[in-house]
Amino acid sequence: MHKSERLFQLVNHLKGRKVAVTAKQLAERLAVSERTIYRDIQNLQTSGVPVEGEAGIGYLIRDYDLPPMMFSPQELQALLIGSQMLKAWTDPQLTQHAQSAIAKIDAVLPSHLKQLNDNLPFLAVGYAHGEKEQNHSQVIRLAIESRNRLCLSYEDAHGVQSTRDIEPLGLVYWGGKWTIIAFCLLRHAYREFRLDRIKAVEKKEETFLFEQTKSMTHYIEIVRSEQCKQ
């Protein structure tokens, strides 16, 4: 957990409490040492957060609100819908990050905007994406970030199975399915691989570089050019 996130959670744990919370309790809740808690408390006090208490007794924050986030109802609705789509259609790690982000936003929203979260008239259902597909998505996403090659066991639309070494460039969601855009080392060209047709995926040690003629931007330019010719 990054320091900024830990301080944010620390403020939320202490805010509005009637009974002081000890450093030991805070350390257990945030999975850090008591020494770290004492240092964080001091940092909060130095930055102007009214943390009351002392070592051995405990701490609390009586009256303090983080500055409200200046979202319009439409902006907040867009963020909430995007978060639902992430939770429904991506991997568990991104889901956790989305939930954490929305919790932070909700903690500092004015009361009249909090109701939007409870009454959002949109629902993203992820029943079509199984656990195996979600796990593949996480491996692929991390490989894109670290620029590691992947080895895929793949079955095409005709049921033909093959093994491909690829350089993953991006993930695209279209037609209700996630698709990997990659440079195929067998074909020496861009290829698309549907996530639901991947039988197994292995992250390799070899890395690669994005190039002007090997990138998502270049791929999109080619697709648009072909569409214009039609």
CATH number for the domain that contains residue 18? 1.10.10.10
pLDDT of amino acid 70: 60
Is the pLDDT higher at 16 or at 155?
A: 155
Together in a domain, 138 and 185: yes
pTM of the model: 0.62
Question: For 1-39, how does the pLDDT look when each residue is reduced to its tens digit (9 = 90+)?
Answer: 678 778 878 888 888 677 889 999 999 999 999 999 999
Domain that holds residue 183: 131-229
Of 70, 83, 75, the residue nearest 110 (C-alpha): 70
Q: Are residues 54 and 110 in the same domain?
A: no
What is the per-residue pLDDT for 19? Answer: 86
Q: Does the pLDDT value for residue 170 go beyond 90? A: yes
The pLDDT value given to residue 204: 97
Q: How far apart are CA 81 and CA 178, in angstroms?
A: 18
The answer to whether residue 125 sits within a structural domain is: no
The confidence score (pLDDT) of residue 24 equals: 92
Range picked from 61-70, 96-105, 123-132, 150-159 for highest mean pLDDT = 150-159
Return d(Cα 219, Cα 34) in angstroms, integer. 51
**Quick one: 138 and 89 in the same domain?**
no
Same domain, 157 and 203: yes
Same domain, 220 and 149: yes
Domain termination residue (choose one: 60, 81, 105): 60
Say if CB 150 and CB 169 are below 8 A apart. Answer: no
106 Ramachandran zone, left/alpha/beta (phi>0; psi -120 to 50) = alpha
- Choose one of 60, 81, 106: the last residue of a domain: 60
The verdict on 80 and 165 lying in the same domain is no
| Residue 79 confidence (pLDDT) above 80 | yes
Q: Domain check: are 166 and 220 in the same one?
A: yes
pLDDT above 80 for 169: yes
User: What mean pLDDT is reported for the chain?
Assistant: 85
What CATH code is carried by the domain that includes residue 151? 2.30.30.520
- Answer yes or no: do 14 and 36 share one domain: yes
Is there a domain that residue 137 lies in?
Answer: yes
Same-domain pairing of 224 and 136:
yes
Q: Work out how many domains the chain is built from and give that number.
A: 3
pLDDT at 109 exceeding the cut of 80: no
Q: Is residue 185 in a domain? A: yes
Residue 127 pLDDT level (bands cut at 50, 70, 90): low
8 Å CB contact between 162 and 197: no
Strand order in the sheet with 148-155: 189-194, 177-184, 161-174, 148-155, 198-207
Q: Nearest-CA neighbor of 41 among 27, 18, 31, 97?
A: 27
